């Protein structure tokens, strides 16, 4: 496929807000692609070059792209900057410049453009920045206006197409079956091999049957299993019992530890909840993983600041300091980390994903029986005693942790899925209230915190005018992948957090409402933010409001809203796709009545 043909499809995608129409367009693109380019096509459609876990980034920010455009079209950086301020999008600037340069339809193929962009991204070492600018400018100068528009947007992460990998999974099903009936089959493979390009390539060359051979493999992250919420311990026993495995819910970074042999060398990779490569951030975990007496293994756990001498866990605000690219050795001394492992998914060339949890736990206990260095085994109790679970819940919260996770003993590992195989019990649990003297009858309370996308900001007044922002618009994720408003937020911030939020908003500012946002005009913020920043929110309760769109069934109806929301923390370990869903909010709304 010529890149110009892909650019025409990208233009169609940008002009539609319909999820079904997007799926049809994507299915058409994928159908036309050759099997050898299907993987590269998927990455480019998502504005990427490789899956996130491979850790290859462009490292081309907007300022550098301005220099690229100046070099490509013989303009000054000042001219490009003025045009950018006027148009608000560097892709549009590239389009106009290429038109004036009378660029014709490019003959470059998708694979050719992809390969050159990958080479540019891999540039490193002395002089790499100048080489990136020169090579990127050279590529743009060979492209027609429409192709230049989208190639400019890819490195700066601004494709503005409004869909995620979930829509691509639907599109692959439509491509192969004419409908979405194969979605679950495709998603199963994606959950254990989180590489949508690989999935597309397999389907193109061998059909859906080729996915049956895809299994977990060390070095490629597995999409993590997620827990459901329930309010009472009685409900937990009813859903997952009669006996459950109970563990502390630690408040740190979800971490998958992968160990395998390659070319006679023991390889270690660590992956985050959102499948980012975090190996370089946590050297003490890597050093401990090298000591594991295994040929290969995939472990699932939580990484948290921990003092082994006192047995005390550090709060998340201190643990989060370790999520950094620079000064790693210095902060490793200040905030030592440990990974507490609660599941084993693979050992010595065998996948255990489909084994019952009770069996996986026994294998895990043999594998890291006493812990090794900074890697520890989570404590667990098997019980059906509601009073014991309530006591354990109180002990966990009193220790500064989030609560408990109760696990169904005969359940497989549900990669990429949220369900009642794992159930969260947190501070808002009625069980805890009863243990502390009884919940107040008739009082409502929100069952859990929720993770919201920061969709935009309102300008500050009075003291907050100095911060540049005075409040925020929050949203949650719909089943269609779009984001729906649920609340305004103006409390729970320290002065320092307001300043931090302003800095973050400045980097995310969008000239117009992103196409994957659904909001009523009467609550439009002064500044729109591109989907990026996730914040954890606590509120008194979930209510209904005609102003918000989350869960609203029809125009003029009422959507979900938050009463007295306040900021708990920024969730830098989560992507927008990890935000709480409308469906989860609906469940919490029904559960919150005591």
Parallel, antiparallel or unpaired: strands 375-377 and 337-347: parallel
Residue 580 has pLDDT above 90, yes or no: yes
Helix (H) or strand (E) holding 567: strand 566-570
The percent of residues above 70 in pLDDT, for the chain, comes to 94
Q: How far apart are CA 387 and CA 412, in angstroms?
A: 27
User: What mean pLDDT comes out for the span 525-533?
Assistant: 92
Q: How many CB atoms within 10 Å of residue 105?
A: 15
Residue 418 assigned ligand-binding role: yes
What pLDDT score does 428 carry? 61
What pLDDT score does 176 carry? 95
User: What mean pLDDT comes out for the span 460-486?
Assistant: 82
| 62, two tokens | 């907007």
Residue 500 assigned ligand-binding role: no
What are 296-314's pLDDT values in tens digits?
A: 999 999 999 998 888 889 8
Quick one: pLDDT band at residue 222, thresholds 50, 70, 90? very high
User: What mean pLDDT comes out for the span 585-591?
Assistant: 89
What are 398-420's pLDDT values in tens digits?
A: 888 889 999 999 999 999 999 99
Residue 342 assigned ligand-binding role: yes
What pLDDT score does 543 carry? 94
What are 17-37's pLDDT values in tens digits?
A: 888 999 999 999 999 998 789
Residue 87 assigned ligand-binding role: no
Residue 254 assigned ligand-binding role: yes
Quick one: pLDDT band at residue 439, thresholds 50, 70, 90? very low
What pLDDT score does 499 carry? 79
For this structure, is 249 an active site residue?
Answer: yes
Give the chain's mean pLDDT.
Answer: 90
Quick one: pLDDT band at residue 457, thresholds 50, 70, 90? very high
What are 193-212's pLDDT values in tens digits?
A: 989 999 999 999 999 999 99
What pLDDT score does 569 carry? 87
Residue appearing with tokens 């003490």 = 284
Q: Which CATH superfamily is domain 450-591 in?
A: Nucleic acid-binding proteins (2.40.50.140)
Residue 190 has pLDDT above 50, yes or no: yes
Q: How far apart are CA 243 and CA 407, in angstroms?
A: 9
Q: How far apart are CA 373 and CA 288, in angstroms?
A: 5
List the beta bridge partners of residue 346: 298, 351
User: What mean pLDDT comes out for the span 563-590?
Assistant: 90
Helix (H) or strand (E) holding 104: none
- Asked whether this chain's domains 226-435 and 450-591 adopt the same fold, the reply is no
Residue 302 assigned ligand-binding role: yes
User: What mean pLDDT comes out for the span 137-141?
Assistant: 95
Residue 249 has pLDDT above 50, yes or no: yes
Cβ neighbours of residue 311 closer than 8 Å, sequence gap 6 or more? none
Quick one: pLDDT band at residue 43, thresholds 50, 70, 90? very high
What pLDDT score does 465 carry? 62
What pLDDT score does 2 carry? 93
Please state the domain extents for the chain.
Answer: 226-435, 450-591
Q: Estimate the crossing angle of helix 38-45 against helix 3-15, to 10 degrees.
A: 40
CATH code that applies to domain 226-435: 3.30.470.30
Q: How many CB atoms within 10 Å of residue 417?
A: 16
| DSSP character string of 390-413 | HHHHHHHHHTT--EEEEEETTPPP
Quick one: pLDDT band at residue 431, thresholds 50, 70, 90? low
The percent of residues above 90 in pLDDT, for the chain, comes to 66
Helix (H) or strand (E) holding 172: helix 165-177
Is residue 271 within 8 A of residue 53, CB to CB? The reply is yes
What pLDDT score does 441 carry? 47
- Which backbone phi and psi does 292 adopt, to 5 degrees? -65, 135
Cβ neighbours of residue 138 closer than 8 Å, sequence gap 6 or more? 72
Catalytic residue among 202, 204, 249, 574: 249
Provide the greatest CA pair distance for the chain.
77
Q: Estimate the crossing angle of helix 90-100 against helix 62-73, to 10 degrees.
A: 0
Higher pLDDT pick, 162 / 120: 120
Residue 273 assigned ligand-binding role: yes
Q: How far apart are CA 254 and CA 226, in angstroms?
A: 11
185-199, 346-360, 369-383, 461-475 — which is least confidently predicted? 461-475
User: What mean pLDDT comes out for the span 220-242?
Assistant: 93
Residue 88 has pLDDT above 90, yes or no: no
């Amino acid at each position: 496929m010529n890149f110009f043909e892909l650019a025409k499809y990208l233009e169609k995608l940008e002009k539609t807000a319909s999820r079904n129409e997007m799926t049809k367009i994507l299915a058409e693109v994928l159908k036309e692609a050759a099997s050898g380019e299907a993987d590269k096509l998927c990455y480019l459609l998502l504005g990427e070059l490789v899956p996130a876990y491979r850790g290859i980034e462009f490292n081309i920010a907007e300022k550098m792209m301005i220099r690229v455009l100046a070099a490509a079209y013989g303009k000054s950086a000042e001219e490009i900057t003025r045009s950018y301020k006027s148009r608000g999008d560097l892709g549009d600037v590239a389009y106009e410049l290429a038109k004036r340069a009378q660029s014709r339809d490019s003959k470059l193929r998708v694979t050719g453009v992809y390969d050159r962009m990958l080479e540019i991204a891999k540039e490193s070492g002395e002089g790499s920045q100048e080489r990136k600018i020169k090579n990127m400018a050279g590529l743009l100068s060979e492209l027609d206006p429409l192709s230049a528009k989208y190639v400019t947007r890819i490195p700066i992460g601004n494709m503005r197409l409004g869909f995620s990998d979930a829509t691509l999974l639907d599109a692959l099903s439509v491509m192969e079956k004419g409908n979405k009936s194969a979605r679950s089959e495709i998603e199963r493979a994606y959950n254990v091999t989180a590489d949508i390009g690989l999935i597309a390539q397999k389907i193109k060359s061998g059909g859906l049957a080729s996915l049956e051979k895809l299994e977990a493999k060390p070095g490629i992250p597995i999409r993590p299993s997620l827990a459901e919420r329930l309010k009472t311990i009685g409900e937990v026993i009813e859903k997952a019992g009669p006996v459950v495995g109970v563990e502390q819910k630690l408040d740190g970074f979800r971490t998958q530890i992968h160990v395998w042999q390659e070319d006679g060398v023991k390889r270690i990779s660590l992956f985050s909840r959102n499948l980012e490569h975090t190996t370089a951030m946590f050297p003490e975990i890597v050093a401990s993983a090298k000591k594991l007496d295994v040929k290969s293994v995939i472990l699932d756990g939580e990484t948290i600041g921990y003092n082994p001498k006192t047995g005390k866990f550090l709060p998340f605000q201190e643990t989060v300091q370790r999520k950094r690219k620079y000064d790693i050795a210095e902060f490793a001394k200040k905030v030592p980390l440990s990974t507490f492992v609660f599941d084993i998914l693979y050992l010595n060339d065998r996948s255990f994903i489909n084994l019952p949890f009770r069996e996986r736990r026994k294998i895990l206990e043999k594998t890291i029986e006493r812990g090794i260095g900074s890697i520890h085994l989570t404590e667990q109790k098997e019980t059906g005693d509601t009073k014991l679970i309530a006591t354990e819940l109180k002990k966990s919260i009193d220790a500064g942790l989030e609560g408990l996770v109760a696990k169904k003993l005969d359940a497989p590992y549900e990669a990429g899925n949220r369900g009642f195989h794992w159930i969260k019990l947190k501070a808002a649990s009625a069980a805890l209230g009863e243990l502390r003297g009884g919940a107040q009858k008739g009082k409502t309370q929100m069952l859990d915190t929720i993770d919201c996308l920061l969709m935009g900001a309102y300008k500050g007044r009075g003291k907050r005018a100095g911060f540049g922002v005075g409040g925020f618009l929050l949203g949650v994720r719909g089943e269609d992948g779009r984001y729906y408003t649920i609340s305004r937020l103006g409390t729970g911030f320290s002065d320092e957090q307001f300043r931090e939020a302003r800095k973050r908003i400045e980097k995310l500012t969008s000239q117009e409402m992103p196409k994957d946002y659904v909001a009523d005009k009467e609550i439009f913020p002064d500044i729109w933010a591109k989907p990026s920043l996730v914040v954890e929110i606590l509120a008194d309760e979930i209510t209904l409001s005609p102003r918000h769109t989350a869960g609203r069934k029809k125009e003029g109806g009422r959507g979900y809203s938050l009463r007295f929301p306040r900021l708990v923390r920024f969730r830098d370990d989560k992507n927008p796709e990890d935000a709480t869903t409308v469906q989860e909010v609906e469940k919490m709304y029904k559960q919150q009545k005591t």
